[in-house]
Structure 1
Amino acid sequence: MAAVDRQDPEPNRSAVRRAIAAAAIGNCTEWFDFGVYAYVATMVGAAFFPAGDPAIQTLSAFGVFAVSFLLRPLGSLFFGPLGDRIGRQRVLAVTIFLMAGATFVIGCLPTYAQIGVAAPILFLIARMTQGFATGGEYGGAATFIAEYSPDRRRGFLGSWLEFGTLAGFALGASIPTVLTLTLGEDAMNAWGWRIPFLIAGPLGAIGLYLRKRLEDTPAFREISDERKIVHSPLRSLVRHHWRMLLMLVGIVIVLNVGNYVLLTYMETYLAEVLSLPRTVALMSMVVVMLAMMGIVLPVGALSDRIGRKPLLASACLSYIVLAVPAFLLIQQGTWAFTIAGLALLALCQVQLLGTIPSALPALFPTPVRYGAFSIGYNISTALFGGTAPFIIQALVTGTGNEMWPAYYLMAAAVISLGPVLLSPETAGRPLLKEKPAKGVSPVKPIKPTPP
């Protein structure tokens, strides 16, 4: 196990603030895309697939969405080790450019009626590009913030990453609603659905500008100067850190299942399973997300004071205890009970959101940190997070039991609780550093990108 070095001098506050903003806006862009896509999937299906059964068109649109998840692990295998070799800043500039660019392109593509079968092919390529780039985004952004943050404030500063998540999804869910109310359904179906995708362009441009103006992280510049960058971070990770990698995968199962149940599936559950008006379902979700945005930063600060493990364990136990009561409340069908049930789920999830971005990067040494987080996180996302809405909906439909989302969340929490309890406490401690493993040659120092 690598030794823990003494605490480093803190970077200046202005650099830390710019680093946080640059990292968080990428996460905001990613989840903005999710929010938009979930809401306009029916319109997208009608635009890019042959006319006929609307249900088949929507299914095709969601099928393309699912394909993008298959590209995320591949993207993490490419961008993660690359970020450990050439630097976090350079790779994060590429990922936000590709993510936002692919989303923007979807808003510009001609429809099936205009160019025929080329339309769904181009649409699929754009979604695959977005998924591939996303594979290197979250792990890199969390690493970037962690390596810029002072040790005693890493929890609070890291929680801004998930503030970006919630802000992005709230915007992605709200903007199509406002456009529908403003333009009307006919205009929205004809061309208005393009506007939210086009918004990703300037959003990504702002993020790219911020990222290009930053130096790489102090931790990466240090290992570059000291010739501790390894030729093959992926090989080093698999050979020397595979146990901790498996632990990371286990920890983020509950995070990913919670994210995709609460933030992407819940609106469908409220509207289609419980037959609530879609506007009520959407506004309920927006209210809860805004509340979570107000709580996630204090949760991050709390993790700096009491530790990461107590909050992660509390989140798992909360899901085990509160998931069933939460869904019993939601199933009452009134707006007040729906908000109350969603609030219980949000209380569970926000403990994870406020803690994970600072807890997990600290599990790995600097030479493999970006790759470790990206690969472990995205494998878990592809296997357990992205599949959760589909599996849960299939179980609800097949059995007629509307409590399956609660049971699924409880199972995820039980699985993640073990790795959480076995993981080391990292709050307030310097990030791990180590020399290249025996038999692994260092590479030449990399000149940092000037601001």
Structure 2
Amino acid sequence: MFEQSKEQHPVRPKTARRLQAGDCIVVDKDELRKAQVGAGVGNFIEWYDIGVYGYLAVTMTSVFTEGMDERMGLLVTLLGFAVSFIVRPLGGMILGPLGDRIGRRKVLFFTMALMAVATTGIGLLPTAGQVGLWVIIPLYLLKMLQGFSTGGEYSGAATYISEFSPDRSRGFMASLLNSGSMLGFAAGASMVAVTTAVTTSAWGDSAMLEGGWRIPFLIALPLGVVAIVMRLRLPESPSFEVAHAKAGSEDIDPIFVRHNLPNIFKHYWPQILIGCCLVAADGTCGYLLTSYMPTYLETQVGSDPVHTAVAAVVVLVLLAVMIPFVARWSDRIGRRPIYAMATIGNLVLLLPAFTLMQMGTLWSLYLALFLVSLPSAFFLALTAAVMSELFPTASRFGSVGVTHNLAISVFGGTTPLVSQILVEVTGNPYAPAFYVMFFSLVALFALLKMRETAARPLLGSVPVVSSREEAIRLVEGQDTNERIDTSTMLLAPEPAAPEAAGVR
């Protein structure tokens, strides 16, 4: 795949300029931990909101579409989930290139503040019973504001952590973002379950409709304040700093140029296409589990909302635990084998899972959700690292923002709405499973064109290592190490003598 990019962007061949220990970036472990927590908290809050909205979908149908046909009202509510994804590509297209220009941390600070304000705003909206159905308009606008911020949030966090992580463990380090996302969703589902239990026991069965639904959304405000304070202390990505410092070199190769949006499409369209196929499979699988299952189980199977929420929390916590283990495995055996397992897993497991759901028992509910979550764990373990590994450092934030947000908006975020429409139109309760299986099949073909990226330096960056000793070993073995290609690294033309070179 990257060979085509090389033809469009010729880079210098390997020359006498060899990699030196001083060229490598040695990661400061304390700063890495600070970066992981600071970046991960945004994804936690993003998925907290998705969890709250997903598990309150039926309740919010009554709140915001009162007087409308119930089935149409549910579609209107799910459309509110989908509209946030309409503007996600816009957020990625604006905030991504901006992050390549001014830095990752500044954009991440902005997206966090915007997300917290929008989520809190939903909790303050009046109901349709108070002001009429026009309240759907501000609901959609706030969801779109969330979508715009999210367009820069995940791509920025994935880029930031991937650039901060040692090459040999980048999959594991970056996967913690999605572990945090699953915990955030579990926290949102848990908050809905706890709020429902407490308010209904204290004020009756109608308590959630009469105002209890606001509580989970308003919790986003203190969470957002904590996240903003944490992000104020984030260091900048070391790979970005090196690339940014050398971006003004006169004879710089095109691969190291910070491209605008049209040139990103022009030069990196093969990577964008492959990335979109992988994210489409990832997104339809993930959002089926996290955002549509509550609605499906309540409306099609008749599951009790509390049982559904509790089962989802258990499965999502298990998913959060599985993700880093799978990612660590991918650092050892490669990304492509793990993706193959994920796609084949969906093709094999989804139909049995939906069959189990139709049984309507508690044990079948847990087992069905586990079967759906297993392939999702394999996808989510790779997303952050692989999206970052597809593109060079100089244009990485913008490229990841475009690729991830286009695919997740068109295919992932619309999964709840499309799945419900498919069930309504076809009358087939297995229709959502077939929808997800189709995109897994597409991803399996795209995988054939993807180059292996595990444990290699990021394109456009020098190697990132965990110690000076690792840097020395890497330099000594560079002639036989197929993962080292200095033509894709921004190296000074005349390095200092080895004994004088300092390790960054």
Residue 369 of structure 2 is aligned to residue 342 of structure 1: yes
TM-score, length basis structure 1: 0.90
State the distance in 1 between where 2:258 and 2:395 align.
11
Residue 25 of structure 1 aligns with which residue? 41
Partner in structure 1 of residue 112 of structure 2: 96
Q: Which residue of 1 aligns with 2:489?
A: none
Pairs within 5 Å for 1:16-415: 16-48=32-64, 51=67, 53=69, 55-112=71-128, 119-184=135-200, 185-227=205-247, 230=257, 232-415=259-442
Alpha carbons of structure 1 residues 289 and 224: separation in structure 2 relative to 1, 3 Å: same
Gaps of 5+ in 2: 1-5, 249-255, 463-504
Amino acid at match of 1:407: F
- Structure 2 SS opposite 1:213: coil
Alignment partners' CA distance in 1, 2:62 and 2:307 = 24
Give the alignment partner of residue 431 of structure 1, picking from 439, 458, 461: 458
Q: Please identify, of 224-233 and 294-303, the stretch whose mean Cα deviation from structure 2 is larger.
A: 224-233
Distance of 1:202 and 1:45 partners within structure 2 = 26
Deviations 1:283-337 (A, max 9, x none): 2222211111121111111111111111011111111122222222332322222
Structure 1 position 51, deviation (Å)? 4.7
**Given that residues 52 and 189 in structure 2 are in contact (C-alpha distance below 8 angstroms), is that contact kept between their aligned partners in structure 1?**
yes
The answer to whether the 8 Å contact 2:104/2:160 transfers is yes
How far residue 405 of structure 1 moved from its aligned partner, in angstroms, is 2.3
Query: Following TM superposition, by how much is the alpha carbon of 1:112 offset from its aligned partner in structure 2, in angstroms?
Result: 4.7
Q: What is the root-mean-square deviation in Å for CA atoms of aligned residues?
A: 2.3
Q: CA deviation at 1:115?
A: 5.5
CA contact (8 A) 2:259 2:395 kept: no
Q: Percent identity, aligned pairs only?
A: 40
2:277–2:439 CA contact under 8 A, matched in 1: no
Q: Distance in 1 between matches of 2:441 and 2:65?
A: 41
Please list the CA deviations of residues 197-219 of structure 1 after superposition, one character each: whole Å capped at 9, or x if unmatched. 11111212222222221121011
- d(CA) in 2 for partners of 1:149 and 1:434? 12
Amino acid aligned to 1:422: K
1:268 & 1:50 partners in 2: Cα distance?
18
Q: What SS does structure 1 have at the residue aligned with 2:207?
A: helix
Give the Cα separation in 2 of the matches to 1:339 and 1:50: 33
Conservation of the 8 A alpha-carbon contact between 2:32 and 2:164 = yes
**C-alpha separation between the residues in 1 aligned to 2:137 and 2:354?**
40
Q: Matched residue of 1:423: which SS?
A: coil
How many angstroms does 1:50 deviate by? 5.9
- Deviation (angstroms), 1:361: 0.4
Gap change, CA 1:44 and 1:391, over 3 Å in 2: closer
- For 1:449, the equivalent position in structure 2 comes to none
Say which SS state the counterpart of residue 206 (structure 2) adopts: helix
Q: State the SS of the aligned residue for 1:186.
A: coil
Matched position secondary structure for 2:219: helix
Q: Which residue is equivalent to 2:482?
A: none
Q: Structure 1: which amino acid aligns with 2:154? A: Y
Shift of 1:235: 2.9
Separation in structure 2 between the aligned mates of residue 277 and residue 123 of structure 1, nearest angstrom: 27
- Rounded to whole Å, the distance in 2 between the matches of 1:120 and 1:264 is 20
Instruction: Return the offset for 1:111.
Output: 4.0
What amino acid maps onto 1:204 in structure 2? G
Distance, in Å, in 2 between the alignment partners of 1:13 and 1:410 is 40
**445, 451, 460: which one pairs with 1:418?**
445
Give yes or no for contact 2:81–2:413 (8 Å, CA) kept in 1: no
CA separation of 1:391 and 1:51: change in aligned 2, threshold 3 A: closer
Residues 91 and 296 (structure 1), Cα distance of their counterparts in 2 relative to 1, 3 Å cut: same
Q: Return the index of the structure with the highest Cα Rg.
A: 2
Aligned residues: 435
Q: How far is the alpha carbon of 1:234 from its aligned partner?
A: 1.5
Give the match's secondary structure for 2:236: coil
Give SS of 1:79's match.
helix
How far apart, CA to CA, are the structure 2 residues paired with 1:107 and 1:231? Answer: 40
**In structure 2, how many angstroms separate the alpha carbons of the residues matched to 1:431 and 1:48?**
47
| Rounded Cα–Cα distance in structure 1 between residues aligned with 2:280 and 2:235 | 33
Distance 1:353 1:381 in 2: 13
Counterpart residue type for residue 24 of structure 2: D
Q: Which deviates further from its counterpart, 325-334 or 80-89?
A: 325-334
Shift of 1:379: 0.8
CA distance in 2, matches of 1:39, 1:334: 20
Moved more, 116-125 or 178-187: 116-125
TM superposition score normalised by structure 2: 0.81
What letter is aligned with 1:78?
I
Distance 1:63 1:175 in 2: 23
